[in-house]
Amino acid sequence: MTQDYPKPITPSPELVRQWWVDAQKNLSPDVVCWVNHIATRAAQWGADQELDACCKVLKDWGSCLSPDLRAARRPKPPSLKAQALEAMHRNWNPHNNDDFATIRRALEALND
């Protein structure tokens, strides 16, 4: 059995160039913002590569935990519905209970 691990986590020059182009198109003309953008993208990319490698190892070992690891490390953000319900509860006013009940029912009727 050949050992494929660990592999270096280095983005390709083409990918870094694309991040640079994206930064120049979408950010202010401040080079510091561009560098921060590229550093952030590189950190995200590296973390994704590491997670992919860990999930591959788990799968190669016959483990069924790979989806659980991915879900734990890259949780989905709460839906707009969940965020609205949470905001409504934070701002609940006992003097305006009927309106809040109506808003709650409407939000709960929406699909996620």
Return the beta strands (E) in the chain as ranges.
none
Confidence of residue 89 (pLDDT cuts 50, 70, 90): confident
pLDDT digits (tens, 9 = 90+) for 8-18: 778 999 999 99
pLDDT computed for residue 1 by the predictor: 45
Rounded CA-CA distance 16/62 in Å is 35
User: 9 near 50, Cβ under 8 Å?
Assistant: yes
Share of the chain above pLDDT 90, in %: 45
What number of residues does the chain have? 112
| pLDDT computed for residue 7 by the predictor | 63
pLDDT in tens, 23-38: 888 878 888 888 999 9
